[in-house]
Structure 1
Amino acid sequence: MFRTALIIAAATISTGAIAQDAEVSVANGERISIIGGCHDCHSAGYSESNGKIDPATALKGNPVGYNGPWGTNYAVNLRLVVAKQSEDEWVQYLKTFQAGPPMPWFNLHAFHEAESRSLYQYIKSLGEPGDPAPERLPPGQTPKTPYLVFAPPMMPK
C-alpha cells in the first residue's frame, strides 16, 4: 500500500508541474529563459552579475565567441530572431532548430508548445531588438572579439 501511495503522489506532482508549465505567459517565459539557460550565453554580463537580468541587454546576443575545432560561434540576438517570426513560426522553429557548439539546441526540441509560446512572449516583451551578434567564423580564422576556447587537449575519436 505504501508503494502505491508513492506512485500516486509522483503522478500528481508530475501532472501538477505540467499543468503549471502549460500556462502561456510572459512570467512563465522569463522562468523558462532562466532554467533553460538562455541568459547564460545570450545575455552579455549575465553570468558575471551572478544571474541578474539586465533588461537593456537581456537576450540581445553576446560578443564573446565560443572557439573550437568548428570555428567560432556566437550566441545570437534572440530578440532579432523573434522579431522576424510570428509566435506560430517560433514554436515550429524551436522544434526543428539546430546550431553549432556549444549551443544545446536539442534541448529546445523537448519544449512543449506552451513553454515555446511563453518564451516567445517573454522575449517580445523585452523591447527593442538591438543589433545582431557577431557572425560565425570558420575554422582557422582568429576572432576580433573576446572568445572562449573550447578545445580539449585530446579530441575524441
Structure 2
Amino acid sequence: MKTPIRTLFGILGLAASALATGAHAAPQHTDAERLARGRYLIVAAGCNDCHTPGYAPSGGQVPDQQWLTGDVVGFQGPWGTSYPSNLRLSLSRLDEQQWLSRARSPMLPPMPAPSLKAMTDDDLLAIYAFIRSLGASGEPAPTAAAPGVQVTTPYIEFTPKNLPQQQAALTH
C-alpha cells in the first residue's frame, strides 16, 4: 500500500506528464465533428454573406459546393475598394499555422469582422478544415483598388452619411 505522500507524488507526476504531452490542450474532435463545427461557424459568422456570390440575396439558398468562392461585388470606403476573397483558393495554398497568422493579421475593411477576431484558434482551425474539405474552386477575386481609383465592378459604398457631427454643423 502506498503512503499518502507517494500517492501525491504519483498524481503530480501524472499531471506533469499530461502537461508535457499536451493533454491539457483543447479536446480532440473527430474529423466529422470538426467539419460540422467549421460549417456552423461559417454560417453563424456570416462569412457566406460576402464571400459567396448570391448567398445573401437568396436567403442562404446556395449549395455548400458553391460557397466561399469570392465575389466581384466590392466594398468601397476611405481605404479604396476591397473584394471578398475566394477563401477556397486562398486556404488551399496555406497550412494551418499560415491560416491562423492570416486570420489574426490586419486586413482591408470590412474584414476582419469582429466575429473572426473573437474566435479561438480551435474555431479558426475548424473553419480551415471545412473550407479545405470543399476543395479549391472558382477564380480569384478582383484586386483591391486604392482610394480614388475607379472600378468597373459593382460595389457597396461603406461611407457613413448623416453623422451627428455633420448634422450639428449644418444647424449652426
The TM-score with structure 1 as length reference comes to 0.76
Letter in 2 for 1:33: I
Aligned residue pairs, count: 137
Partner of 1:121: 129
The equivalent of 2:139 in structure 1 is: 131
Check whether the contact 2:92–2:135 (CA below 8 A) recurs between aligned residues. Answer: no
Letter in 2 for 1:144: T
Deviation sequence 1:36-76 (CA, Å, 0-9, x none): 11111111100011012333431111100111122111011
CA distance in 2, matches of 1:149, 1:68: 6
Larger radius of gyration: 2
Gaps of 5+ in 1: 1-18
Instruction: Measure the CA separation in 2 of the matches of 1:151 and 1:90.
Output: 30
Q: Does 1:103 align with 2:80?
A: no
The residue aligned with 1:141 is 149
Distance 1:137 1:31, change over 3 A: same
More off after superposition, 125-134 vs 115-124: 125-134
Higher normalized contact order (CA 8 Å, seq sep 6+, divided by chain length): 1
Once the two structures are superposed, residues 90-136 of structure 1 have per-residue CA deviations (whole angstroms, 9 ceiling, x without a partner) of: 22332x22112222345423211221111001101112332100010
Mapped pair 1:49 → 2:61: no
Is 1:81 the counterpart of 2:90 in the alignment? yes
State the match for 2:71 in structure 1.
62
Q: Distance in 2 between matches of 1:101 and 1:88?
A: 23
2:18 aligned residue: none
Structure 1 window deviating more from structure 2 (43-52 vs 102-111): it is 102-111
Aligned CA distance change for structure 1 residues 99 and 92 (closer, same or farther; 3 Å): closer
Consecutive unaligned residues in structure 2, runs of 5 or more: 1-25, 167-172
